[in-house]
């Protein structure tokens, strides 16, 4: 039996070695990164085709080449796919991440598509250049052959500029510098529009711009223009804040629409003439490009006379207030100075008012907290600044009054709002010092006949002949030392046991590690490294769940996490918040996020999610 066991063990070792020999090449091959381009070798003039950039690993920071000789119809559209193959019992999984463009050829000739590049696992990879030939336009098929849903070039049907057009209007044509206006793009049509898209966004040079187009399908109305009735839809709205005075131009908006028009078939029989052709008419979907009108905005400069000292560009109608978290503290104790600007105007550009503090008070950089919304009527809400102050000396200190200055475009004047004077009483730190002695002994040379200095403080006496090691106090201390030693040994063994149990150790440190990663994310946010910020937040959430559920990251998926949350009876709201934050982080890897407010909200939601999960999971394990 012992011989058989040895043979079996040896056989198992040989099989393991052979398995490693076969697996190592496959692993090295599977770990290779590929980034390629797929493009047709030849297209005809005016033909639309797709260009696909594909990688076998998740990519970031996609840099597209220029497409000279082609018009970008749409893109880049991002997608991912997973394929699983089973060959001879071996399972292989392939993931593909793609960036797809739809192009239209606009010139004949041979064109070179330069390299595209992405970042994968910290390294940048590029595609090889590609060549494509554009040949003359192919013969247009007979009109009667086209199916009703097919998109046709605009050669067959004449669509006038009066049938469909886009009109851009501004809410105000002569704003002040820093005063918000709204540019609205309305689509006017007498045709049936089945699809539309923006080929090129208008340029807003000299403006701060924010897209405020409502989500969902645009609302339509009807309007009579030059005696013709049009269906009108608001398709885009942009909030603009001019940054300099003078004549600023809002460039046109380029659109591409697909409209459905009626086209009669060519009549070749007497039946067509008899029925007048209306029965055999067919509907065609026709592409039609549109360009909006440009806008010239005459921006007025702010008055240069009587400009108050400390004005930093705030424009609107605003209020201001300043408060202290505490007005009586000790030395080196922190105080929070809160300043709130609320109202309407360019709150996005409001800065901290000028502050002058006493030399004894140290101040730190202010943190801004935004709570405002931007729509067609303007930006309304508040911007709050929190400033940390630390007094370094005791005394009474006065702060302010703090002045906030803004320009009111309604009155054309500067306005100054001053807070009340803020008083801070700083007390010295309570030091533990010996009380002054009433009597100060002098150095005395004792002689046999001298009298010793009289003790004026209480002291203890003990009977003559008694020893300390026989006293009850001695035995009590011995017992306490022994108990302390055993407690130390127990705690040490418990710690060593916990270190041996990696699962338990990861479980206990999950919360601490998640908060550490969120702290790194906060640093990335302050450095305006948005991509790295979302990466850290994603690692914090995913790593926290991996440690808490004792699952390696490679085995984590939405399904396993969802199932574990249901088994642990996690609050559905917490579960939804967890996956919502993950979705935002995943999306932000490939597409920019709207603004700072959304990024700050993502950080707050991630922190709240981890705190909630920690409470719920710990409560169930008690």
Look up the CATH number of the domain holding residue 155. Answer: 2.60.40
Please state, in angstroms and as integers, the Cα–Cα distance from residue 185 to each residue in 161, 166, 227, 233, 375, following that order.
Answer: 16, 7, 21, 9, 15
How much is the average pLDDT of 266-280? Answer: 45
263 and 154 within one domain: yes
pLDDT of residue 90: 56
pLDDT band at 574 (very low <50, low <70, confident <90, very high): confident
Note whether residue 462 is domain-resident: no
More confident call, 13 vs 166 = 166
What pLDDT score does 320 carry? Answer: 93
Residue 93 has pLDDT above 50, yes or no: yes
Q: How far apart are CA 28 and CA 16, in angstroms?
A: 18
Residue 474 lies in a domain: no
Give the domain-ending residue among 412, 427, 442: 427
Do residues 127 and 239 share a domain? Answer: no
Do 216 and 272 reside in the same domain of the chain? yes
Residue 299's pLDDT band (cuts 50, 70, 90): very high
Is pLDDT of 91 > 60? Answer: no
* pLDDT-based confidence at residue 92 (cuts at 50, 70, 90): low
In terms of domains, do 290 and 373 share one? no
pLDDT digits (tens, 9 = 90+) for 164-213: 999 999 999 899 999 999 999 999 999 888 888 876 667 788 898 888 88
Structural domain count of the chain: 4
Q: Per the domain annotation, does 461 fall within a domain?
A: no
- Which CATH number does the domain housing residue 70 bear? 2.60.40.10
Residues 280 and 374 in one domain: no
For 149-167, what is the mean pLDDT? 67
**pLDDT tier for residue 56 given thresholds of 50, 70 and 90:** confident
Residues 76 and 118 in one domain: yes
Q: Are residues 170 and 285 in the same domain?
A: yes
Position 214 scores a pLDDT of 85
Q: Which residue has the tokens 């119809």?
A: 73
Q: Per the domain annotation, does 270 fall within a domain?
A: yes
Each residue of 320-342: pLDDT tens digit?
999 998 888 888 888 899 999 99
How far does CA 256 lie from the centroid of its chain? 30
Strand partners, 197: 256
pLDDT digits (tens, 9 = 90+) for 434-462: 333 333 334 434 444 455 545 555 655 55
pLDDT tops 90 at residue 318: yes
Mean pLDDT of 511-531: 82
pLDDT at 468 over 50: yes
Residue partners of 532: CB distance under 8 A and separation at least 6: 524
State whether 225 and 200 are in the same domain.
yes
Q: At what angle do helices 472-500 and 502-526 cross, to 10 degrees?
A: 80
Q: Which helix (H) or strand (E) holds 82?
A: strand 70-87
Q: How far is CA 556 from CA 235, 248, 540, 561, 586, in A?
A: 42, 53, 14, 7, 15
Task: For residues 76 and 64, give the distance between their C-alpha atoms in angstroms, rounded to a whole number.
Answer: 9
Range of weakest confidence among 1-10, 96-105, 479-488: 1-10
Distances (CA, A) of 256 to 104, 149, 253, 289: 12, 17, 10, 4
CA contacts within 13 A on the Cβ side of 101 = 22
Residue 472 included in any domain: no
Residue 493 belongs to some domain of the structure: no
**21 pLDDT band (50/70/90 cuts)?**
very low
pLDDT in the model for residue 155 = 46
- Which residues, at least 6 apart from 145, have a Cβ–Cβ distance to it below 8 Å? none
Query: What's the CA gap between 57 and 159, in Å, rounded?
Result: 46
Last residue of a domain, one of 89, 104, 135: 135
Task: Tell me what pLDDT residue 585 has.
Answer: 81
Same domain flag for 161 and 295: yes
Domain CATH number, residue 525: 1.20.120
Question: What is the C-alpha separation between 607 and 35, in angstroms, rounded?
Answer: 36
Q: What is the mean pLDDT of the chain?
A: 77
Residue 570 lies in a domain: yes
Quote the pLDDT of residue 115. 92
| Pair (182, 283) in one structural domain | yes
> Are 109 and 230 within one domain?
no
pLDDT exceeds cutoff 70 at 470? no
Beta bridge partners of 86: 91
Mean pLDDT score, 110-117: 92
Which residue among 271, 299, 327 closes a domain? Answer: 299
**What tokens were used for 245?**
């005075």
| Residue numbers of the domain that contains 549 | 502-621
435 lies in some domain: no
If pLDDT is split at 50, 70 and 90, which confidence band does 132 have? very high
C-beta neighbour count of 546 within 10 angstroms: 20
Q: What are phi and psi of 459, to 5 degrees?
A: -145, 160
Look up residue 344 and give its DSSP letter: E
How much of the chain, in percent, has pLDDT values that exceed 90? 19
Question: Two tokens at 89?
Answer: 């019992």
CB contact set of 173 (below 8 Å; sequence gap of 6+): 295, 296, 297, 298
> Mean pLDDT throughout 280-285?
62
Question: In this model, does residue 384 exceed pLDDT 80?
Answer: yes
pTM: 0.46
What is the mean predicted confidence (pLDDT) over 74-86? 60
Kindly state whether residues 103 and 167 are assigned to the same domain: no
What angle is formed at CA 503 by the lines to CA 497 and CA 505, rounded to 5 degrees? 55
């Amino acid at each position: 039996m012992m011989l058989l066991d040895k043979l079996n063990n040896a056989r198992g070792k040989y099989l393991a070695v052979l398995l490693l020999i076969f697996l190592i090449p496959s692993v090295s091959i599977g770990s290779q990164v590929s980034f390629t381009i797929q493009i047709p070798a030849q297209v005809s003039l005016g033909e639309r085709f797709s260009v696909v950039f594909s990688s076998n690993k998740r990519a970031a920071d996609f840099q597209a080449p220029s497409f000279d000789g082609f018009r970008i119809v749409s893109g880049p559209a991002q997608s991912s796919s997973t394929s699983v193959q089973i060959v001879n019992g071996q399972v292989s999984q392939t993931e593909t991440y793609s960036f797809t463009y739809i192009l239209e050829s606009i010139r004949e000739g041979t064109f070179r598509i330069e390299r595209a590049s992405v970042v994968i696992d910290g390294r940048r990879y590029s595609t090889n250049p590609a060549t494509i030939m554009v040949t003359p336009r192919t013969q247009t098929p007979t009109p009667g052959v086209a199916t009703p849903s097919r998109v046709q070039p605009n050669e067959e049907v004449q669509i006038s500029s009066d049938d469909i057009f886009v009109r851009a209007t501004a809410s105000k044509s002569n704003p002040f510098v820093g005063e918000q206006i709204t540019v609205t793009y309305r689509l006017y049509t007498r045709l049936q529009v089945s699809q539309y898209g923006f080929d090129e966004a208008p340029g807003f040079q000299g403006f701060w711009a924010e897209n405020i187009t409502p989500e969902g399908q645009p609302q339509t109305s009807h309007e009579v223009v030059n005696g013709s009735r049009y269906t009108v839809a608001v398709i885009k709205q942009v909030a603009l804040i001019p940054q300099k005075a003078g004549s600023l131009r809002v460039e046109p908006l380029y659109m591409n629409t697909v409209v459905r028009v009626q086209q009669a078939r060519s009549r070749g029989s007497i039946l067509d003439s008899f029925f007048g052709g209306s029965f055999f008419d067919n509907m065609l979907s026709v592409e039609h490009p549109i360009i909006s009108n440009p806008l010239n905005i005459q921006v007025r400069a702010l008055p240069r006379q009587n400009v108050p000292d400390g004005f930093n560009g705030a424009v609107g109608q605003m209020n201001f207030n300043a408060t202290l978290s505490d007005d009586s503290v000790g030395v080196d104790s922190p105080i929070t100075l809160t300043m709130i600007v609320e109202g309407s105007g360019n709150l996005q550009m409001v800065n901290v008012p000028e502050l002058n503090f006493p030399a004894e008070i140290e101040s730190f950089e202010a943190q801004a907290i935004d709570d405002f919304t931007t729509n067609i009527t303007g930006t309304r809400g508040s911007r709050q600044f929190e400033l940390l102050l630390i007094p370094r000396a005791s005394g009474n200190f006065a702060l302010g009054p703090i002045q906030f200055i803004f320009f009111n475009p309604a009155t054309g004047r500067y306005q100054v709002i001053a807070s009340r004077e803020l008083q801070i009483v700083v007390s010295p730190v309570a030091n533990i010092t010996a009380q002054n002695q009433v009597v100060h002994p002098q150095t005395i040379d004792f002689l046999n006949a001298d009298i010793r200095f009289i003790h004026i403080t209480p002291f203890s006496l003990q009977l003559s002949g008694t020893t300390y090691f026989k006293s009850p106090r001695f035995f009590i201390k011995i017992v306490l030392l022994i108990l302390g030693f055993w407690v130390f040994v127990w705690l040490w063994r418990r710690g060593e046991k916990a270190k041996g149990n990696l699962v338990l150790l990861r479980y206990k440190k999950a919360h601490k590690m998640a908060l550490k990663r969120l702290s790194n994310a906060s640093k990335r946010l302050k450095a305006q490294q948005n991509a790295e910020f979302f990466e850290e937040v994603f690692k914090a959430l995913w790593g926290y769940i991996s440690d808490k559920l004792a699952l390696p990251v490679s085995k984590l998926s939405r399904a396993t996490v969802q199932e574990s949350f249901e088994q642990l009876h996690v609050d559905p709201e917490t579960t939804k918040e967890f996956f919502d934050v993950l979705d935002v982080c995943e999306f932000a890897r490939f597409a920019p996020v709207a603004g700072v407010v959304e990024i700050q909200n993502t950080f707050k939601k991630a922190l709240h999610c981890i705190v909630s999960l920690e409470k719920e999971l710990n409560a169930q394990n008690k």
